[in-house]
């Protein structure tokens, strides 16, 4: 039996490989998508004061850092029973939109689009954003500018462009002043125009690749995501799950997620496989993220994104094809820019009441005596889909147990099936062209997987081989500039 390996899968966030098994006659007998990384946040959050979680968890992923920051802060609100003031909720939503603008534009222009702009069979040395910079500098500049707006929002509202810090239990640590607001409002308005131009570039590509959209990564699943009253929104709402035809099967509050979602471990991947508990594995596999959200909502409540959504719906209806994630992502990018303008035009965004605090906390000794447990669940829509942070603490708010279900996990099974089915359809014999292998990667890329988010971790058996030399027991070979 022969094996074809694609390693590492490139232009995604994190470490993964694809393996394809061939039988004796050269046909594909099996294929898998393997996630190679694991770091262990669920365990090592234990023992931390829960208010540190919004600072620790963004390091799960530097790409969807703000999403973790905010889901985590929402969970801490719930642990302490705090309700953030209106201004704080709006600032957090704006920060999350900054996340979307950065992440969706990073994914589309820097990671995904090179396959479409340069072509899936183009020279791999050119098939990347650097190639786009060389061959189409205007498009590259537009990409860079769009993403910069997202990072400015995060930096001004969140305090830092990567790993923001301002969302705290009960609200925000820092408000927005009039000057910052004016600056961001200009940026956000400019961003709407930039996204419009981007959509003009992208639309013909979707026509051109209609075939690939039809054939790459076929799979049919349930879909899940947050919505409030059927509208697209990322910060809040109820979790809704629909079936393959679009009928609603579940609607639930964040606290109850354990009744609906379960995860399965497979021996070939460090990333788990969530599924709908009441349907079972693997039939209950569901997807999240842009494609899922646009299937779930009835309305995209901003002008330009709403119009794009109408067109998209007319054309694709209940979309199942993974390459349409790209299309859905662009519509959400437009929504994010427009919604940022709306929030920045709202005077509540510069309000001064930004935080509800607690007056006192139990000490750890008191907490031991009392035996009280607190729990908080925070769910938001991260760019890649629903993100769940669930913390249990003692009475002093020290984490005893944490559970995290990240967006990408929920798409794991669909990526795996998509790779297998496509490999079966396209690969016959050992000679596989680079362009064909790249098509398998394109399936994975469409989901914009964030494997750094595969948060769980384990040990190995191998002995440790570290030499530490020094008279005082201090590493001297180190030179700090």
Partner 1 sequence: MVKIALEWLASCAGCELSILDLHEELLDLLEHAEIVYAPILMDVKEIPDDIDIAIVSGSVRNEDNKERLQELREKSKTLIAYGTCACYGGITCMADLYSPEDLSARSFSDNKSTEPAEQPSEVVPELLPIVHPAGDLADIDYFLPGCPPKEGLIKDVLIPLIDGKVPEIPKKSVCADCHRQMDHVEFDKLKRRVVGDMDPEKCFLSQGYICLGSVTLGRCGAMCSAAGIPCHGCGGPSLDVLREPNHDVYNCLVNRIAHLSKMPHKDVEKQIYDKGHLVYGFVIGSTIMENKKVSLIPQLIKK
Q: What are phi and psi of 25, to 5 degrees?
A: -90, 10
Part of the chain binding partner 1 (CB under 8 A), chosen from 180-188, 228-236, 290-298, 463-471: 463-471
Contacts of 136 (CB under 8 A, 6+ apart): 117
Part of the chain binding partner 1 (CB under 8 A), chosen from 52-60, 285-293, 316-324, 333-341: 52-60
Q: What are phi and psi of 272, to 5 degrees?
A: -80, 175
Q: Which two tokens stand for residue 170?
A: 């009960």
Residue (151 or 321) nearer to partner 1, CB = 151
Length of the chain: 481
Residue (52 or 86) nearer to partner 1, CB = 52
Please, are residues 420 and 465 in contact by the beta-carbon 8 Å criterion?
Answer: no
CA 311 vs. chain centroid, Å, equals 25
Distance CA 196, CA 217 (A): 28
Q: In the bound complex, what is the minimum distance in angstroms from residue 120's beta carbon to partner 1?
A: 11
Q: Which two tokens stand for residue 133?
A: 């910079």
Distance CA 51, CA 96 (A): 19
Q: In the bound complex, what is the minimum distance in angstroms from residue 127's beta carbon to partner 1?
A: 6
Among 130, 210, 348, 425, binds partner 1 (CB under 8 A): 130
Pairing of strands 286-287, 222-227: parallel
Site for partner 1, residues 61 to 90, rule: CB under 8 A: 61-63, 65, 76, 80
355 to 394: interface string for partner 1, x by CB under 8 A: --xxxxx--x-------------------------x----
Part of the chain binding partner 1 (CB under 8 A), chosen from 200-208, 231-239, 285-293, 459-467: 459-467
Residue (238 or 266) nearer to partner 1, CB = 266
Site for partner 1, residues 169 to 198, rule: CB under 8 A: 169-170, 173-174
Q: In the bound complex, what is the minimum distance in angstroms from residue 81's beta carbon to partner 1?
A: 12
Q: In the bound complex, what is the minimum distance in angstroms from residue 268's beta carbon to partner 1?
A: 5
Residue (297 or 417) nearer to partner 1, CB = 417
Please, are residues 397 and 46 in contact by the beta-carbon 8 Å criterion?
Answer: no
Please, are residues 170 and 329 in contact by the beta-carbon 8 Å criterion?
Answer: no
Question: How far is CA 357 from each of CA 84, 162, 338, 361, 377, rounded to the nearest angstrom?
Answer: 9, 26, 32, 11, 19
Size of the site for partner 1 (CB under 8 A): 120
Give the three-class secondary structure for 463: coil
Binding of residue 200 to partner 1 (CB under 8 A):
no
Among 2, 27, 43, 303, binds partner 1 (CB under 8 A): 43
Task: Give me the residues paired with residue 274 across strands.
Answer: 263
**Nearest-CA neighbor of 70 among 50, 96, 90, 98?**
96
Part of the chain binding partner 1 (CB under 8 A), chosen from 166-174, 185-193, 219-227, 240-248: 166-174
Contacts of 465 (CB under 8 A, 6+ apart): none
Binding of residue 162 to partner 1 (CB under 8 A):
yes
399 to 438: interface string for partner 1, x by CB under 8 A: --x-x-x--------------------------------x
Q: What is the largest CA-CA distance in the chain?
A: 73
Site for partner 1, residues 263 to 292, rule: CB under 8 A: 263-270, 272, 274
Residue (210 or 265) nearer to partner 1, CB = 265
Give the three-class secondary structure for 475: coil
Site for partner 1, residues 298 to 357, rule: CB under 8 A: 357
Please, are residues 132 and 139 in contact by the beta-carbon 8 Å criterion?
Answer: yes
Q: In the bound complex, what is the minimum distance in angstroms from residue 298's beta carbon to partner 1?
A: 29
Among 185, 199, 249, 258, binds partner 1 (CB under 8 A): 258
Residue (42 or 342) nearer to partner 1, CB = 42
């Amino acid at each position: 039996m022969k094996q074809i390996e694609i390693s590492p899968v490139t232009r995604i966030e994190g470490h993964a490989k694809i393996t394809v098994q061939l039988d004796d006659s050269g046909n594909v007998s099996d294929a898998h998508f393997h996630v190679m990384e694991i770091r262990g946040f669920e365990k090592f959050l234990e023992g931390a004061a829960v208010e540190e979680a919004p600072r620790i968890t963004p390091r799960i992923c530097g790409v969807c850092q703000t999403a973790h920051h905010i889901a985590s802060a929402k969970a801490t609100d719930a642990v302490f029973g705090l309700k953030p003031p209106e201004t704080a909720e709006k600032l957090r939503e704006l920060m999350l939109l900054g996340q979307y603008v950065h992440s969706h534009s990073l994914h589309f222009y820097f990671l995904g689009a090179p396959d479409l702009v340069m072509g899936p069979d183009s020279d791999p040395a050119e098939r990347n954003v650097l190639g786009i910079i060389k061959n189409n500098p205007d498009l590259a500049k537009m990409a860079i500018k769009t993403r910069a707006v997202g990072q400015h929002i995060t930096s001004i509202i969140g305090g830092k462009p990567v790993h923001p810090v301002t969302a705290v239990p009960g609200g925000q640590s820092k408000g927005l002043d009039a000057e910052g607001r004016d600056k961001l409002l200009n940026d956000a308005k400019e961003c709407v125009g930039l996204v419009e131009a981007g959509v003009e570039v992208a639309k013909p590509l979707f026509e051109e690749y209609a075939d690939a959209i039809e054939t790459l990564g076929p799979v049919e699943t349930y879909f899940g995501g947050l919505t409030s009253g059927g509208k697209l929104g990322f910060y809040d709402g109820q979790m809704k799950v629909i079936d393959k035809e679009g009928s609603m099967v579940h609607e639930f509050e964040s606290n109850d997620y354990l009744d609906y979602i379960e995860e399965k471990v497979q021996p070939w991947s460090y990333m788990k496989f969530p599924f709908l508990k009441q349907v079972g594995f693997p039939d209950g596999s569901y997807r999240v993220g842009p494609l899922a959200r646009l299937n779930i909502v009835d309305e995209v409540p901003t002008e330009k994104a709403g119009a794009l959504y109408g067109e998209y719906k007319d054309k694709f209806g209940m979309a199942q094809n993974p390459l349409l994630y790209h299309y859905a992502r662009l519509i959400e990018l437009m929504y994010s820019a427009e919604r940022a303008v709306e929030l920045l035009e709202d005077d509540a965004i510069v309000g001064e009441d930004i935080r509800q605090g607690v007056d006192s906390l139990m000490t750890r000794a008191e907490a031991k005596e009392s035996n009280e447990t607190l729990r908080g669940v925070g769910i938001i829509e991260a760019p890649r889909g629903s993100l769940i942070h669930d913390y249990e603490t003692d009475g002093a708010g020290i984490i005893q147990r944490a559970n995290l279900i990240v967006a990408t996990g929920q798409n794991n099974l669909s990526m795996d099936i998509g790779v297998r089915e496509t490999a079966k359809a396209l690969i016959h014999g050992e000679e596989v062209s680079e362009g064909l292998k790249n098509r398998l990667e394109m399936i994975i890329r469409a989901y914009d997987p964030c494997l750094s988010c595969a948060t769980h971790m384990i040990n190995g058996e191998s002995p440790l081989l570290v030499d530490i030399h020094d008279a005082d027991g201090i590493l001297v070979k180190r030179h700090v500039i």
